[in-house]
Structure 1
């Protein structure tokens, strides 16, 4: 009986956790430097430098070359002109290796936006859990942020279903452009 109560208590505690934790709007987005790829070409990415050109949509995805991530990258690639028209840049972030992201940036991002390596520290700072190469995880996170030119989080969308990320972040960017 005691074991049953313990199991029920743990289950209740897990159920009470938020489905997708994310940084709240108004919080300063953590700055970072990492390696990324655009159209298969590697480069150094610094968030603060990207923000000098306007808002950034920073979207974290679990793993390149998986069905949901492929579809999400394609959707962001197709919407890139709309993001640019609203003055924003899109950057994908994953725990994948740079060589994987180089290939992914050509094949699924259509060379329209960069993808970059999310270190364990960046994942922790942005409150996301991503699969690490060589490590099997049963949970992953798919979180998208809109970060204003001032470096503050304007909008966050956390949902494992990739379908709403492009639509919701584009609406947030467009609203930001109207302000």
Structure 2
């Protein structure tokens, strides 16, 4: 398992080189204290599709909304794997996890069910045109020629900068993490988010 992640992490540098400067120049994420824009999106959980509603998720408690560049790429794979490993702790804290990328539903079906990544633990949603990302201040970076995923398949969609929003049950953004500006690794998005939602419900942690 771990040798695969060591290999896949090599792709982080490649993807960062392709879009890091562009993402920093064009994206201005919503900030702590802003209201989180509500949205619905086609999503996959354990290989099955459904309509994810942020409004409905917030009625159950806080939500960790994380945007990521592409399924089946080094950093995104590690990030999804870490969220899946910590899923029980997020649930204990009353929090919902939703990942969003520009991947199409076909890619997300397999990614959401893959035991090495989402492992059927939490949903991932498709934002192919970057419209949801734009509402959160993130610019979709155009497809980059020649980029392939860890399976050797071309990645033909645009990239959303890796950014995580922790949203409380009232719909307020209480934390924002960006790999480009905060210089944190993909797995830290999950670990830092968990620490925050645990503080919201300390009696459940």
TM-score normalised by L of structure 1 = 0.82
| Residue 195 of structure 2 is aligned to residue 175 of structure 1 | no
Measured after TM superposition, the shift of residue 81 of structure 1 is 0.6
CA contact (8 A) 2:166 2:193 kept: yes
User: CA–CA distance in 2 between the matches of 1:171 and 1:82?
Assistant: 10
CA contact (8 A) 2:139 2:160 kept: yes
CA contact (8 A) 2:34 2:173 kept: yes
Runs of 4+ in 1 over 4 A off after TM superposition: 17-20, 137-140
The size of the alignment, in residue pairs, is 162
| Residue 187 of structure 2 is aligned to residue 163 of structure 1 | yes
Q: 2:144 aligns with which of 136, 145, 157?
A: 136
| Residue 132 of structure 2 is aligned to residue 122 of structure 1 | yes
Relative to structure 1, is the Cα distance of residues 21 and 178 closer, same or farther in structure 2, using a 3 angstrom cutoff? farther
| Residue 100 of structure 2 is aligned to residue 90 of structure 1 | no
Measured after TM superposition, the shift of residue 175 of structure 1 is 1.4
What secondary structure, in the 3-state scheme, does the structure 2 residue paired with 1:111 have?
coil
CA contact (8 A) 1:94 1:130 kept: no
CA contact (8 A) 2:134 2:140 kept: no
User: CA–CA distance in 2 between the matches of 1:18 and 1:170?
Assistant: 29
| Residue 24 of structure 2 is aligned to residue 43 of structure 1 | no
- Calculate the aligned-residue CA RMSD, in Å: 2.3
Measured after TM superposition, the shift of residue 21 of structure 1 is 3.7
TM-score normalised by L of structure 2 = 0.72
Gaps (5+ residues) in structure 2? Answer: 1-20, 146-157
CA contact (8 A) 1:20 1:158 kept: no
| Residue 85 of structure 2 is aligned to residue 74 of structure 1 | no
Q: 2:121 aligns with which of 108, 112, 116?
A: 112
CA contact (8 A) 1:37 1:98 kept: yes
User: CA–CA distance in 1 between the matches of 2:52 and 2:137?
Assistant: 20
Render the CA deviation track for 1:76-132: whole Å, top value 9, x for unaligned. Answer: 000001111111011110010011111100112000000001242211111223456
Aligned match of 1:154: 174
Measured after TM superposition, the shift of residue 20 of structure 1 is 6.9
User: CA–CA distance in 2 between the matches of 1:178 and 1:154?
Assistant: 16
Largest Rg, 1 or 2: 1
